[in-house]
Structure 1
Amino acid sequence: MIDMHCDVLMKLWEEPHKSFSDDDLHISYNKWLNSPVQVQYFAIFVPPETSQDYFQSALEMIDLFHEKIIKPYPGIKWVQTKEEVEALSPHEKGAVLTLEGCHVIGEDLMKLRTLLRLGVRAVGLTWNNVNALSGTCVEDEELGLTTLGKAAVKTINEYNAFVDCSHLSPAGIDDVLELADRPMISHSNAKAIYQHERNISDQQLKQFFEQKAPVGITFVPYFTAKDGVNIEDLLNHINHMYELGGRDSISFGSDFDGMSETIQGLEDIEAVRNLYHKLAHHYSSDDVYRMRYDNAVRFL
């Protein structure tokens, strides 16, 4: 399985004493080894409220990615392309770098190019806070991509990277769908199933499905259902997207280590096997293969 979003790097950055072997993380080395997830995307997310320099903090997280995740564990490989993912042996794990929120670049596309050159393979244009590129799903929902935002998408296209629309304003998503070579949604659910500002409307989901762009179902309980959220509630979102035409798009983006609560039965990366078993009961082996692997890696 491929998981297109987690916030382990933020946890390691916020708590410098912590290592990737600490099992209080949703995703730790040992938990990952014992999970069905072969490829994990690691997001660079700098909390906007930090008093530290945003771009310097992003660089520090890239350093942590290499020093605390890649370097100490020979079985973890830094992967950037589909070919590198496919070259992984069954006992190896692949790690991909992504960016969540372009507030870290300010108004400087050189900083964006630097992060792309350092191996970032998917760029989330915003988090929940408005920045110089676009409005968000929380602030200024009617504000689409600015001139700088459109130039950023062009830059991301030049590096063959994904433009991630999770957290983006609906107007911004419309703009991305017109401009991006590789649009994606890393970690959002279906608004038709549960009304939450972080979820995506059917109208926009259909546009991603038409492009066979990855749409990552997320495990955040408060994006999934109201109370006592379990895997069946998550399946409601998967089933809805499948019936809407998402067979070649449905993927997964857990948001592990970026949430305060978890779905019952999906408490950490090891528990992802519970979801895998549920999918196998509901869908054909070909459909499950697409959801857990092929849809996420196809355009990497």
Structure 2
Amino acid sequence: MYFDAHSDIWCDVTARRLKGETDVLRRRHLERLRKGGVEGSIFVIWVDPPYDVDYVKRTKEIMQCAKAEAEECDEIRIVHNYAEMMQAKADGKIYVFHGIEGLAAIGEDISKIDEYYDFGCRHAILTWNEANALGAGANSGESYGLTETGKKAARKVQDKGMILDMSHLNEAGFWDCMKLATKPIIASHSNCRALCDVPRNLTDDQLRAIRDVDGVVGLNSFKDFIDPRGPEQTVENLARHADHMINVMGIDHVGCGFDFFEFINDEAMGTMTEDSSPAAHGMKDASEIPNLFSCFEKMGMTKEEMDKIARVNFQNLVKRTIG
């Protein structure tokens, strides 16, 4: 069973509910999640293009739709801490943490982080690919780090007992966060730059820095972060990223953050890739997660090592950060 530390499913739920659909999780997503063995996940609030023309409006829409959907679907359970997560698992529910992929909607008012927390969010990324009032994303083209407001926001996220996530921040912002870290930090959905040289992936120094604060990095199935060559964008080569992470950080710091988004609209997809099939060959969506672990088995990993990557490392991080 697997803990996926990054899912954009609330985007699809929002788009469909605003068109009049209901019970979206059960009708559109649960079969894949169950088939793939997903026992829990972080479902993020992400303002996808073209809705980023009004971050505040779209954020409110996502929150309203996520709340309505969660109330409607009794096969998932929104959780807020380690104990709730493990109880949901014992009860046979898919446990879901609310997260935030980009805090652009708060502007410079970090008190609004309290509103996210009160909604149930226990995870936050300061930016998506854009530059905002807090800092600059990895694909923003900007080289500056966190603003003073961004540093205050990062501290507040950790002080409130939320998981601070480095995925999407540029390098300068990453290192600013590391300087002020008081708890373990994650990169929920990032691969290794040593194997695929794109800004969204992490250097070996960044991997070691996350290890040194007892954090975890989640493997990302998005094929452009696996290899620049189309034929090599495979589940087997995603497994190579795991192997590299283990060699650099150790087995206790590698997890899953697959970033499946085959359901995203064409306009949003076009901001990330020219291809309509975004995931690795052999791992097109959540239903094919076991293919990656078959690769690990062929590589000689033990069951204990695979369990750590599958769920244990991120579950332990929840205990260390959220409590």
TM, length-normalised to structure 2? 0.86
> Which of 246, 253, 269 matches 1:249?
253
Q: Partner of 1:21 in structure 2?
A: 26
Q: Deviations over 1:12-70 (max 9, x none)?
A: 223433522344xxxx02222222110111110113642663223212212222222x2
Match runs of 1:139-178 below 5 Å: 139-178=140-179
Q: Distance in 2 between matches of 1:96 and 1:227?
A: 33
Please say if residues 127 and 136 of structure 1, whose CA atoms lie closer than 8 Å, have aligned partners that are also in contact.
Answer: yes
Matched, 1:218 2:220: yes
Q: Does structure 1 retain, via aligned residues, the 8 Å contact 2:107–2:133?
A: yes
Counting only pairs closer than 5 Å after superposition, residues 116-127 of structure 1 correspond to structure 2 as 116-127=117-128
- The SS at the match of 1:21 is helix
Partner amino acid for 1:294? V
**Counterpart amino acid of residue 233 in structure 1:** N
Q: Unaligned 5+ residue runs, structure 1?
A: none
| 8 Å Cα contact 2:184/2:317 also seen in 1 | yes
Q: CA deviation at 1:81?
A: 1.1
Partners in 2 of 1:162 and 1:36 — Cα distance?
24
For 1:299 and 1:63, the matched residues in 2 are separated by 28
Distance 1:39 1:111 in 2: 27
Q: Deviations over 1:129-152 (max 9, x none)?
A: 101111221225431111101110
Cα separation, 1, equivalents of 2:235 and 2:197: 18
Q: Mark the CA change 1:64 to 1:246 in structure 2 (over 3 Å): closer, same or farther.
A: farther
Find the partner of 1:270 among 287, 298, 317: 287
**Superposed displacement of residue 73, structure 1:** 2.4
Which AA in structure 1 matches 2:84? E
Written as runs of structure 1 = structure 2, the 5 A alignment for 1:193-208 is 193-208=195-210
Task: Determine the C-alpha separation between the residues in 2 that align with 1:90 and 1:219.
Answer: 29
> Alignment partner of 2:133: what SS?
coil
Deviation at 1:275, TM superposition (A): 1.5
Among the aligned pairs, what percent are the same residue?
A: 26
The secondary structure found in structure 1 opposite 2:260 is coil
1:187 partnered with 2:189: yes
Quote the Cα distance in structure 2 between the aligned partners of 1:275 and 1:36. 12
1:60–1:51 distance in 2 versus 1, CA, 3 Å: same
Q: Is the 8 A contact 2:36 2:290 kept in 1?
A: yes
Shift of 1:185: 0.3
1:115 Cα deviation from its structure 2 partner? 0.5
Q: Deviations over 1:114-140 (max 9, x none)?
A: 112211111111111101111221225
Structure 1 residue identity aligned to 2:25: F
Q: When the two structures are superposed, what TM-score results if normalisation uses the length of structure 1?
A: 0.92
Between 52-61 and 228-237, report the one with greater CA deviation.
52-61
Q: 1:291 aligns with which of 302, 306, 309?
A: 309
Partner Cα separation in structure 2 for residue 140 and residue 147 of structure 1: 20
8 Å CA contact 2:219, 2:255 repeated in 1: yes
Task: Give the Cα separation in 1 of the matches to 2:294 and 2:90.
Answer: 23
* Matched letter for residue 291 of structure 2: N
Partner of 2:75: 75
Q: Distance in 2 between matches of 1:264 and 1:299?
A: 30
Q: Does the Cα contact within 8 Å between 1:144 and 1:171 map onto a contact in 2?
A: yes
Whole-angstrom CA distance in 2 between matches of 1:246 and 1:141: 32
User: Is the Cα–Cα contact under 8 Å of residues 141 and 171 in structure 1 kept in the other structure?
Assistant: no
Segments of 4+ moved more than 4 angstroms: none
What are the ranges of 5 or more consecutive residues in structure 2 without an aligned counterpart?
A: 270-275, 319-323
Partners of 2:45 and 2:99 within 8 A in 1: yes
Q: Is the 8 A contact 2:51 2:58 kept in 1?
A: no
Deviates more, 1:125-134 or 1:70-79: 70-79
Range 135-144 or range 48-57, more displaced: 48-57
Matches of 2:15 and 2:74 in 1, distance apart? 25
Contact in 2 for aligned 1:161/1:182 (Cα 8 Å) = no
What CA deviation, in whole Å up to 9, does each residue of 1:198-236 have, x standing for no partner? 101111111111222010110000110121221111011
* Alignment pair present for 1:280 and 2:297: yes
* Structure with the bigger percentage of helix: 2
Secondary structure of the structure 2 residue equivalent to 1:5: strand
